[in-house]
Amino acid sequence: MPMQSRLRKCALGVFVASLAATGGAAAKPAKHRVKKPRITVDADLANAPSAKYGALTKDACIKELKQRAIRFTEVASARGVMAPVRLDGSLHGVRYHTEVPEKDRATTPYEVFDCRLVLALDDFGPILQKHGIEEAIIFSAWRPPAKSWPADKPATRHPGALAVDIRRMVKAKPTSAGPKDKAPDLVVLRDWTPARDVPPCAPGTAIAPDTKEAREIRAIFCEAAAARIFTTQLGPNYNKPHENHFHLEVTPGVTWRLIL
């Protein structure tokens, strides 16, 4: 028998023996741990502020901004954003801005907000104001989608300017002299120790580190959740990419909320 034929016969024998050893069954995929459900279905969600804002048309939303006397400028064009605006002032005494140089803030894409998100942030203002916050330092609101995204198609999340990432909250300067080395702010990365997949606002949830700042930053997050201002609120407990900020989002057309 030629050598090549003997080799093919040998290989076939190994294959048949292998099938016999496994009962002829195909290899099974490795088992993966099923993640716990993270969303909450809210039967009354239609009455939540976040759902009402998400359902607004552009004209209705702009009208609401004007009725609230919010200072803003409409943006002529922002790919993926239904109702793009820039804030020209504070919301209930709280200013939302990035840390780009002042001269570039009027043109940076990261400070473009969808009008509907601005209404939610306006509701968030009194909560921050109660805690003495006067500035919310953000990484971004709008993050422009790819150039291939249709100009007339609204996007969601950051590509639609419907989400904002807050990394630091600055408190108003105390009127009396205080320790000069104490920064009057709350920092997500510093003041919130992650506990992955643990609902942050559940009764009895441990807070670590158990400091004044940690308790206060958790209170701000959970007071906003209780008010149902945002459809989605993600923080350090969600995953590693969210360790250093709060992701606050208005999500149109859904029947669920995600708070983690």
pLDDT > 60? residue 179:
no
Q: How confident is the model at residue 180 (pLDDT cuts 50, 70, 90)?
A: low
Mean pLDDT, the chain, rounded, equals 85
The per-residue pLDDT for 46 is 81
Q: C-alpha 190: how far from its chain's center?
A: 18
Q: Which two tokens stand for residue 55?
A: 């359902």
pLDDT for 57-105, tens place per residue? Answer: 999 999 999 999 999 999 999 999 999 999 999 999 999 999 999 899 9
- Residue 25: pLDDT band (50, 70, 90) is very low
* pLDDT given at position 241: 94
Mean predicted confidence (pLDDT) in 150-159: 93
The reported pLDDT for the residue numbered 15 is 34
Q: Report whether pLDDT(12) > 50.
A: no
Q: Is the peptide bond before 84 cis (omega within 30 degrees of 0)?
A: no
Q: What is the mean predicted confidence (pLDDT) over 170-188?
A: 71
Which residues, 6+ apart, have CB-to-CB distance to 166 below 8 Å?
Answer: 96, 136, 137, 138, 188, 245, 246, 248
If DSSP states are collapsed to H, E and C, what string results for the chain?
CCHHHHHHHHHHHHHHHHHHHCCCCCCCCCCCCCCCCCEEECCCHHHCHHHHHHCCCHHHHHHHHHHCCCCEEECCCCCCCCCEEEECCCECCEEEECCCCHHHCCCCHHHCEEHHHHHHHHHHHHHHHHCCEEEEEEEECCCCCCCCCCCCCCCCCHHHCCEEEEEEEEECCCCCCCCCCCCCEEEHHHHCCCCCCCCCCCCCCCCCCCCHHHHHHHHHHHHHHHHCCCCEEECCCCCHHHCCCEEEECCCCCCEEEEC
Over range 218-232, report the average pLDDT.
Answer: 96
Which comes out higher in pLDDT, residue 165 or 24?
A: 165
Domain ranges of the chain: 34-259
Q: From CA 29, how far away is CA 177, in angstroms rounded? A: 64
Comparing 66 with 9, the larger pLDDT belongs to 66
Percent of the chain with pLDDT over 70: 79
Greater pLDDT, 221 or 21: 221
Q: Which residues contact 107 (CB under 8 A, 6 or more apart)?
A: none
CB distance 168 to 187 below 8 Å: yes
What are the angstrom distances between the C-alpha of 113 and each of 57, 164, 188? 15, 8, 22
**pTM of this structure:** 0.82
Provide mean pLDDT across the span 215-242. Answer: 95
Confidence tier at 56 by pLDDT (50, 70, 90): very high
Least confident of 17-31, 48-62, 107-121, 161-175: 17-31
